[in-house]
């Protein structure tokens, strides 16, 4: 053995005692394997968690982007030569020449002018399962085009003699019926119907809001007003007032004496009691005023409330808003509810 080989042998002998036994070597190998597997498992969990988190974020982002929450909107102006009509939860466009309003059951327009198309609203004080009108459709010589709200007619299309057709559709939970001898006009009216999801074109909500607001100043210059009529808390109709009538209404309300609502006459039912919300507009701000048309008041005054002050207005003040669709005693209001009624023929 040469010198180099001897040095190697001496070195190996010197460290032989420090070398691990077979059992120790095997245990070390197993420990390293366990550490390696644990590291892989932890890494896999971290990767999986990251993947899940990424998926959750991606899904949330995707669903957030696709979500279509209901939009509370106010419809735009009607088409030229048309106007919006509202009732309960629906609004519909009709030609401006349709100017006759009827409160009662379709199709009886006995007291109306048969030459003028009508807008009808079923009176709320009569049960929809009973009628004072026994006709399914009026005779040709008395028939007129109409839009009728909340009639008992079932949704669908009915064809009558003389080329007349009536279409009934459920929109926003309220039925509308359109009768014409012009199919194009009928479809245009029916297709214009929209549910009232926020306010109608005139700013009316489907249900009567509670009085609120900061009041208005008598010297404000009002450019217009929206008029919303309610019966027992439900929207009956909406319209607007021009600057002149709006300003006149504001002046008369402001000049009315302050005081709580007037007492009602004993035993007076007054099924025609209505509440109007008149929203006065200046162009920069709006001021709502509540006024109740109740002819049972003992002193002939009408309660008003602008959110801060209660007053008692006179009949002239009420008449400024009870125009057009809001005018009381429409033609078929003249039927007598207590008289014998017949089952519907619709």
The sign of the dihedral angle between the CA atoms of 233, 177, 81, 102 is: negative
Full DSSP string of 121-178:
E--TTS-TT-BS---SS--GGG---EEEES-SPPSEEEE-GGG-EEEEEEETTEEEEE
Residue written as tokens 């429409």?
330
**Residue at 12 is within a domain:** no
* Among 197, 216, 250, residue at a domain's last position: 197
The DSSP letter of residue 208 is P
Together in a domain, 236 and 266? yes
Give the span between the Cα atoms of 39 and 304, in whole angstroms: 78
**Is residue 286 in a domain?**
yes
Same domain flag for 89 and 149: yes
The answer as to whether 111 is a domain residue is yes
Q: Are residues 158 and 239 in the same domain?
A: no
List helix spans (H) across 92-147: none
Residue keyed to tokens 């009928």: 186
Same domain, 280 and 311: yes
Q: Residue 338 falls within a domain, yes or no?
A: no
Q: Identify whether 168 is part of a domain.
A: yes
Provide the pLDDT for residue 111: 62
Whether 250 and 163 share a structural domain: no
> Are 106 and 151 spatial neighbours (Cβ–Cβ below 8 Å)?
yes
Based on the fold, state whether residues 47 and 101 are members of the same structural domain: no
Pair (49, 90) in one structural domain: no
pLDDT attached to residue 268: 81
Q: What is the pLDDT of residue 102?
A: 84
Phi, psi (degrees; rounded to nearest 5) at 334: -80, -5
Residue 144 maps to a domain: yes
The pLDDT of residue 154 is 87
Residue at 284 is within a domain: yes
Q: What is the dihedral of CA 248, 318, 109, 100, to 10 degrees?
A: 10
Burial-class residue 316 by CB neighbours within 10 Å (0-12, 13-18, 19+). exposed
Residue 210 lies in a domain: no
Total number of domains in the chain: 3
Give me the tens of pLDDT residue by residue for the chain, a chain 346 residues long: 544 445 444 544 444 444 444 444 444 544 444 444 444 444 444 434 443 333 333 333 232 323 233 344 778 999 999 999 999 999 999 999 999 888 777 777 656 777 889 998 876 655 555 555 677 888 898 888 999 998 878 899 999 999 999 999 999 999 999 999 999 999 999 999 999 999 999 999 999 999 998 888 878 899 999 999 998 899 999 999 999 999 999 999 999 999 999 998 888 876 557 899 999 999 999 999 999 988 788 899 999 999 999 999 999 999 999 988 888 755 445 343 333 344 445 6
Measured in degrees and rounded to the nearest 5, phi and psi for residue 169 equal -135, 145
- Co-location of 56 and 87 in the same domain: no
Q: The domain containing residue 248 runs over which residues?
A: 224-326
Sign of the dihedral through C-alpha 297, 301, 305, 311: negative
Distance CA 191, CA 183 (A): 12
What is the spatial distance between Cα 191 and Cα 194, in angstroms, rounded to a whole number?
A: 8
pTM of the entire predicted model = 0.73
Cα separation, 57 vs 145, in Å, equals 57
Q: Are residues 269 and 177 in the same domain?
A: no
**Residues contacting residue 70 through CB under 8 Å, at least 6 positions apart:** 197
Q: Scan for tokens 């359109």, then name that residue.
A: 178
Residue 45 sits in the same domain as residue 102: no
Same domain? For 254 and 293 the reply is yes
- 129 and 53 belong to one structural domain: no
Strands 100-103 and 118-121: parallel
Backbone angles phi, psi at 175, to 5 degrees: -85, 145
């Amino acid at each position: 053995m040469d010198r180099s080989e001897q040095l190697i042998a001496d070195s190996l002998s010197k460290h032989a005692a420090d070398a691990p036994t077979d059992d120790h070597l095997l245990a070390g190998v197993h420990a390293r394997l366990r550490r390696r597997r644990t590291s892989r498992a932890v890494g896999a969990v971290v990767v999986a968690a990251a993947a899940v988190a990424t998926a959750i974020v991606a899904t949330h982002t995707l669903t957030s982007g696709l979500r279509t929450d209901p939009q509370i909107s106010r419809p735009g102006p009607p088409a030229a030569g048309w106007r919006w009509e509202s009732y309960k939860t629906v609004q519909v466009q009709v030609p401006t020449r349709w100017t006759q309003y009827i409160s009662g059951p379709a199709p009886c327009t006995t007291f109306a002018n048969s030459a003028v198309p009508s807008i009808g609203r079923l009176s709320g004080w009569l049960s929809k399962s009973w009628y004072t009108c026994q006709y399914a459709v009026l005779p040709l010589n008395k028939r007129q085009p109409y839009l009728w709200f909340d009639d008992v007619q079932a949704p669908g299309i009915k064809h009558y003699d003389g080329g007349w057709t009536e279409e009934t559709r459920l929109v926003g939970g309220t039925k509308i019926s359109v009768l014409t001898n012009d199919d194009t006009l009928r479809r245009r009216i029916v297709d214009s119907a929209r549910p009232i999801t926020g306010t109608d074109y005139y700013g009316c909500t489907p249900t009567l809001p509670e009085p609120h607001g900061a009041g208005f100043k008598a010297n404000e210059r009002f450019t217009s007003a929206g008029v919303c009529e309610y019966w027992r808390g439900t929207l009956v109709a909406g319209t607007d007032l021009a600057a002149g009538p709006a300003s006149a209404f504001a002046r008369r309300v402001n000049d009315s004496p302050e005081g709580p609502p007037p007492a009602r006459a004993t035993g007076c039912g007054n099924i025609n009691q209505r509440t109007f919300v008149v929203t006065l507009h200046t162009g920069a701000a709006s001021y709502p005023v509540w006024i109740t048309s109740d002819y049972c008041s003992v002193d002939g005054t009408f309660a008003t409330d602008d959110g801060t002050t209660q007053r008692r207005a006179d009949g002239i003040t009420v008449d400024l808003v009870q125009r057009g669709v809001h005018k009381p005693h429409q033609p078929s209001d003249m039927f007598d509810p207590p008289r014998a009624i017949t089952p519907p023929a619709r």
